[in-house]
Amino acid sequence: MVADIVGEKIKDLEQGQVPANEGGAPVVSEKDIVDNVMLVMVAGYDTSSVLITFMVRLLANDPDVYAAMVHGKYGQYF
């Protein structure tokens, strides 16, 4: 899917629908673009997943932090 989208954008570039760089040479390869898009997609998911996991772990292992969250400034939401 990502490779297809990148391929379409490269065709647009070659047909002059998207401005090229000054020399007309590709700045990065199609493979580099696909790899970078996949990295961003996975890194974004992984970062959120790890953050939520550590937050739940902290709340489960530290009753004082859990109580402060429940009864603290934002306690009205819990």
List the chain pLDDT tens, one digit each, 78 residues: 667 777 777 776 667 655 556 666 666 677 877 887 778 777 777 777 788 888 889 889 998 888 877 776 555 544
Q: Per the structure block, which two tokens stand in for 75?
A: 């306690």
Q: Distance between CA atoms of 35 and 60, rounded to whole angstroms?
A: 37
Coil/strand/helix, residue 74: coil
Question: Whole-prediction pTM value?
Answer: 0.40
pLDDT at 61: 92
